[in-house]
A = this chain, B = another copy of it.
Amino acid sequence: MNTEVCDEIHEECGVFGIYDLDRHDVASTIYYGLFALQHRGQESCGIAVSDTYGPKGKVQSYKGMGLANEVFTQENLEKMKGDIGVGHVRYSTAGASTIENAQPLVLNYVKGTLALAHNGNLINANELRHDLEYTGAIFQTTIDSEVIAYHIARERLKTGTVEEAVRRAASKMRGAYSLVVMSPRKLIGARDPYGFKPLCIGKRDNAYIITSETCALDTIGAEFVRDVLPGEVVTISQDGQISSDTSNCLPKGQEARCIFEYIYFARPDSRCDGISIYESRTRAGAFLAQDSPVEADLVVGVPESGNPAAQGYAMASGIPYGTAFIKNGYVGRTFIKPKQSSRESSVRIKLNVLKKSVEGKRIIMIDDSIVRGTTSGRIVSMLREAGAKEVHVRISSPPFLWPCYFGTDIPAREQLIAYNKTIDEICQELGADSLGYLKVERLSELVDGLPICKGCFTGEYPMEPPKEDIRGEYEK
């Protein structure tokens, strides 16, 4: 999804919780986990840890704006002593981008301390906030985690265990959430009944991990145990058992995993609900080869996200796969664009064409998605300037046409290139020789028929969408 090449601006959040029953400190492992989940959010990150063996569940936390590598130092990691903890990387799809909104949320409540890290978007958050305010609640952030925390605190007054309070609170939430909660002596994971966002369980020696993606398990050398089920609440306690509460679950087949996790969000080396992300993407390329074939000399991907589909296309079509673009690996989060000069386009700064590869050739250029189309258009031009004879664009997802209410940051319809345009018109706007999108029908084949949400492509959502635009209202 290149609005600005390589900007990767559409990620959501990543969560990572760990409980080490052997009482080793976990802060540095969380740090490595966040580092593996960094593609899910680069705005801010944070870690909170606690020790389960001390008397009071004292929480130590550190949060900051920026990448894990920028926020955490040897020094602040070493200060966080504790054998249980949660971490978070954030890209805001709702809520302002400020340090106040960084997660995990750490709080005191009637039963001691809690730390929460949350990925997803609630569609009834405003309603829940208003309800709480009418009973005297105050809100210091604009993130959903604060609403969830309030509900946990209130439910906890009426129920015997924190996991049951989490479950009851979860049952009031409508929308997408994958949640890890650290209470003084328990690590809890919860996933919304539709399973929009991934969540999985891992284990390393005597330490249990609940995290967004399996790539975080690989990075820290943990083995994959299983996915958390849509609607399930899992609890790791001192006895080392993974207890499960599935009473929030929907009947099998009614889930609605976000298909865009498979197309773009998740890291290719992750598996979500049993499906290899990399394979979903190569499969999308293969479908494009079958459904939108074209004669050509070379298949190339727009780095990095277009490469797996390009490889799938190449394998399925027999047309050789090659490299057409060199990406400047030093593009950081905060690339400075001096005003002085307007000659240097931001695409060219980040991406250069390998003339040798494309000169005189018919090129199939694969990208994962098109949002506004500006960048794709520029890349097509660059290929032509470099001597490509033909440029055939293939997109490994259907056209974006509808808003997402569950965590994906899709611009207003008017800004979407596919809005009110035929495929031919889009093709012309991009300056391509031909254009093919993945068919909507193919989406569920990418994930072996798992029930999915494809609302951003079809406008059909697994639950009634909110009437007002819920994004950003609470910004201060």
Query: Which A residues are closer than 8 A to B by beta carbons?
Result: 24-25, 27-29, 31-32, 35-36, 38-39, 42, 58-61, 67-70, 72-74, 77-78, 99-100, 105-110, 113-114, 129-130, 133-140, 142, 146, 149-150, 153-154, 157, 204, 215, 218-221, 267-269, 276, 278-279, 304, 307-308, 311, 315, 320-323, 326, 328-332, 334-336, 338-341, 343-345, 348-349, 352-357, 474-476
Counting from the closest, the 6 A-B pairs by CB-CB distance are A28-B338, A136-B154, A28-B340, A110-B133, A269-B326, A38-B330
Query: Is there an interface contact between A138 and B109, defined as CB atoms closer than 8 Å?
Result: yes
For the A-B complex with A35-B330, A108-B474, A135-B157 known, give 13 more contacts whose Cβ atoms are closer than 8 Å: A32-B344, A36-B349, A69-B334, A70-B332, A74-B336, A109-B138, A138-B153, A204-B343, A218-B348, A219-B328, A220-B343, A276-B355, A329-B329
Query: Is there an interface contact between A157 and B136, defined as CB atoms closer than 8 Å?
Result: yes
8 contacts between A and B (CB under 8 A): A32-B341, A32-B344, A36-B349, A69-B331, A70-B332, A138-B146, A221-B343, A278-B354
Query: Is there an interface contact between B27 and A140, defined as CB atoms closer than 8 Å?
Result: no
Query: Is there an interface contact between A326 and B215, defined as CB atoms closer than 8 Å?
Result: yes
Do A338 and B31 contact each other (CB < 8 Å), given the known contacts A311-B323, A330-B69, A474-B108? yes
A136 to B154, CA, bound (A): 4
Query: Is there an interface contact between B315 and A357, defined as CB atoms closer than 8 Å?
Result: no
Query: Is there an interface contact between A61 and B476, defined as CB atoms closer than 8 Å?
Result: yes
A361 to B73, CA, bound (A): 40
A28 to B113, CA, bound (A): 38
Query: Is there an interface contact between A344 and B140, defined as CB atoms closer than 8 Å?
Result: no
Closest to A48 in B: B476
Residues in B neighbouring A114, C-beta threshold 8 A: 138
Residues in B neighbouring A335, C-beta threshold 8 A: 69
Query: Is there an interface contact between B308 and A323, defined as CB atoms closer than 8 Å?
Result: yes
Closest to A332 in B: B69
Q: Which of these, B39, B139, B157, B320, contacts A109 with CB under 8 Å?
A: B139
Closest to A222 in B: B343
A328 to B315, CA, bound (A): 25
Query: Is there an interface contact between B136 and A110, defined as CB atoms closer than 8 Å?
Result: yes
Residues in B neighbouring A154, C-beta threshold 8 A: 136
Residues in B neighbouring A134, C-beta threshold 8 A: 110, 157
Query: Is there an interface contact between A315 and B320, defined as CB atoms closer than 8 Å?
Result: yes
Closest CB in chain B relative to A361 CB, distance in Å:
14
A106 to B304, CA, bound (A): 40
Closest CB in chain B relative to A346 CB, distance in Å:
10
Q: Which of these, B113, B220, B307, contacts A344 with CB under 8 Å?
A: B220
